[in-house]
Structure 1
Amino acid sequence: MSGPVKGRVEWFRDYQFIGRIEGDKCSVILGEGGISPMKLLLLSVAGCTAYDVVMILKKMREPIEGLEVEISGERSEEHPKVYRRVHLHYRIHGNVREEKAKRAIELSQDKYCSASAHMKLSGAEVTYSLEIIPGR
């Protein structure tokens, strides 16, 4: 088991906050003029699964040339307004076989992507669609 992840959010001005994770080189602006924490949560899910899918397809020796993951989420009306539905659309560039692409996505969603697992544990329905754009 790895050690704890540590971060800090600091009030910058008005309704803006700067968030940093210890040891990372980038910061994020939260609130007005920046990204909302709930939107950042969506991007975290998309980033987590994108990383997994590229890694898995490369291990499968599939000729992936690019990847885009579009994500959308619907939140409940009542507080704490958690995500009820999340949909990911994977756009894979390259001559990747569809069955291999689906397998990579399913492995990410069912086994590896911690961020998706958190969404599902909070009760969100997570779905996906796939588009393969042939390569050169």
Structure 2
Amino acid sequence: MKVSFKFDKDVGFISDDGKYDVKIKNSIVGNDQYHSPTELLMLAMGACSSDDVLNILKKMRKDVKNYRCEVTAEKRDTDPKMLKFGEIHYIFDGDVDQDSVKKAINLSLEKYCSVSLTVKNAGIPVSYCYTINGKDYR
């Protein structure tokens, strides 16, 4: 794997590795219209785990009609301003049950999702909650 980006005085950073442009906020430009590197890490963690979870549920023959993921985190106040914690909220609509969802999430976060495992190995706790057809589980 390899990615690359260049500095743009109006944007911050823009990927230039031949794929679709990713625009990244930096401290010099401070353009709040783009994600910060930490927000991209949060998106990567949610997307990595969501891919696992949805694939596992598909193999279990569960019918997910709609899906959404929200990742919440907080940064430390002191440098380096690493994350204090991360929480992934998985939101499902469809023919899925609590046991299957919990099993899929645990497999992802404990075995398959390289991004969340990297974050956890850095000493940052990663927790989760989920909602199935409007009912919240913690």
Q: Aligning the two structures, in what range does the TM-score lie when normalised by the shorter sequence?
A: 0.7 to 0.9
Runs of 4+ in 1 over 3 A off after TM superposition: none
Structure 2 unmatched runs, 5+: 26-30
1:64 is matched with 64
Matches within 5 A, 1:43-54: 43-54=43-54
2:24 is matched with 30
Query: Is 1:18 the equivalent of 2:14?
Result: yes
Residue 91 of structure 1, CA deviation:
0.6
Identity of aligned residues (%): 34
In the alignment, is the contact (CA less than 8 A) between 1:50 and 1:67 conserved in 2? no
Residue 125 of structure 1, CA deviation:
0.9
Query: Is 1:112 the equivalent of 2:112?
Result: yes
In 1, Cα distance between equivalents of 2:60 and 2:131:
18
In 2, Cα distance between equivalents of 1:76 and 1:19:
27
Number of aligned pairs?
128
Name whichever structure is richer in strand by fraction: 1
In 2, Cα distance between equivalents of 1:57 and 1:9:
35
Residue 15 of structure 1, CA deviation:
5.7
- CA offset digits 1:34-77 (Å, max 9, x no partner): 21111111011011111111100000111111211111001111
In 2, Cα distance between equivalents of 1:133 and 1:26:
34
1:6 is matched with 2
